[in-house]
Amino acid sequence: MDWKLIMTAFVTLFLAELGDKTQLAALSLTAKSGKPFSVFIGAATALVTITLLGVIFGEALTKFIPAGYIHKGAALLFITIGILMLIGKI
């Protein structure tokens, strides 16, 4: 097991998810339902599922496209989304 990679993934995703729509949805659902454990189980299952899909898709994608191109493409996509958000198009 690659603990350095595990910690890098954890810290990166943890910081990226702070204060995002997922947390706001979980907060809202918990406040509305009063059932934090049920909201936690549902939210955790959704996050694990979408992460699994990302890992599977990422592994398949690297069989056809070199990882360097994927990294650059992802960076360009993030920059584009950031610019669109900055100018109010998203």
**pLDDT tens-digit map of 2-44:** 999 999 999 988 888 877 888 889 999 999 999 999 999 999 9
| Confidence category of residue 89, pLDDT binned at 50, 70, 90 | confident
pLDDT at res. 3: 95
| 39, two tokens | 């909201």
Q: How far is CA 87 from CA 36, 43, 47, 78, in A?
A: 37, 31, 29, 14
Global pTM reads 0.67
Q: In the predicted model, what is the mean pLDDT of the chain?
A: 91
